[in-house]
Amino acid sequence: MSHYEQYIGKVFDERYRIDAVLGVGGMAAVLYAFDLKEQQKVAVKMLREEISDDKQAVRQFITESKAVAMLDHPNVVKILDVVIREETKYIVMSYIEGETLRSYMDRVGVLPLNKTIDILLQILDALDHAHSKGVVHRDIKPQNILMLKNGKVVVTDFGIAKIADSDTVSDDKTIGTVYYISPEQAEGAAIDHRSDIYSLGAMLFEMITGKLPFNADSTVAIALKQINEPTPSPRDHVPTIPVGMEQIVRYAMEKAPENRFQTALQMKAYVEELQRDPFAEFAIAPADQYRIAQEEAKKAKKKKEQEELQALADKKEQEKQRKKESEEEVIRIKGDSWSPIPVMLGILMAFVLVLTVAGFYAVKNVFWDSDLNVFKDNSGENVIIGDFVGKPFTDADQAHLTEDLGYHKVTVSYEYSEVVATGLVISQDPVAGQVRKLNAVELKIVVSLGSNAVENTLPDYTMADYRVIGAKLADRGYKVELVPVESSALESALILKTEPAAGSKVYDGMTVRIYYSASPKATTVVYNFPEFEGMSETDAAYYVDTHELNLISVKYEYSDTVEKGKVIFSSVSKGPKPKLTPLSLVVSLGVDPDTIPVPPSTGDQIEPSADITA
In whole numbers, what is the pLDDT of the chain averaged over residues?
80
Is the per-residue pLDDT at 554 higher than 60? yes
Average pLDDT, stretch 410-423? 82
Average pLDDT, stretch 541-564? 81
What confidence score (pLDDT) does residue 271 get? 96
Whole-number percent of the chain with pLDDT over 70: 78
What confidence score (pLDDT) does residue 48 get? 77
Least confident of 501-505, 525-529, 607-611: 607-611
**Predicted confidence (pLDDT) per residue in 42-85, tens digit:** 999 888 777 766 776 677 667 666 666 778 899 998 888 888 77
With H, G, I as helix, E, B as strand and everything else as coil, classify residue 376.
coil
Is the per-residue pLDDT at 181 higher than 70? yes
Which class would CATH give 378-448?
A: alpha beta
Is the per-residue pLDDT at 360 higher than 70? no
**Predicted confidence (pLDDT) per residue in 284-307, tens digit:** 877 777 777 667 767 777 777 778
What confidence score (pLDDT) does residue 382 get? 79
Is the per-residue pLDDT at 471 higher than 80? no
Nearest-angstrom CA–CA distance, 205 and 195: 16
Spans of all domains in the chain: 2-94, 99-283, 294-321, 342-375, 378-448, 455-594
pTM over the 0.85 mark: no
- Which residue blocks in 262-410 are alpha helix, DSSP H? 264-276, 286-335, 341-363, 395-399
Nearest-angstrom CA–CA distance, 238 and 251: 18
Average pLDDT, stretch 440-459? 81
What confidence score (pLDDT) does residue 372 get? 41
Pick the closest to residue 90 from 177, 163, 37, 11 (CA basis).
11
Is 99-283 CATH 3.40.1380.10? no
Nearest-angstrom CA–CA distance, 410 and 442: 6
Catalytic residue numbers read: 139
Is the per-residue pLDDT at 277 higher than 80? yes
Is the per-residue pLDDT at 525 higher than 60? no
Q: Do domains 378-448 and 455-594 have the same CATH topology?
A: yes
What confidence score (pLDDT) does residue 36 get? 94
Is the per-residue pLDDT at 249 higher than 70? yes
Is 455-594 CATH 3.30.10.20? yes
What confidence score (pLDDT) does residue 34 get? 96
Second-level CATH architecture of 2-94: 2-Layer Sandwich (3.30)
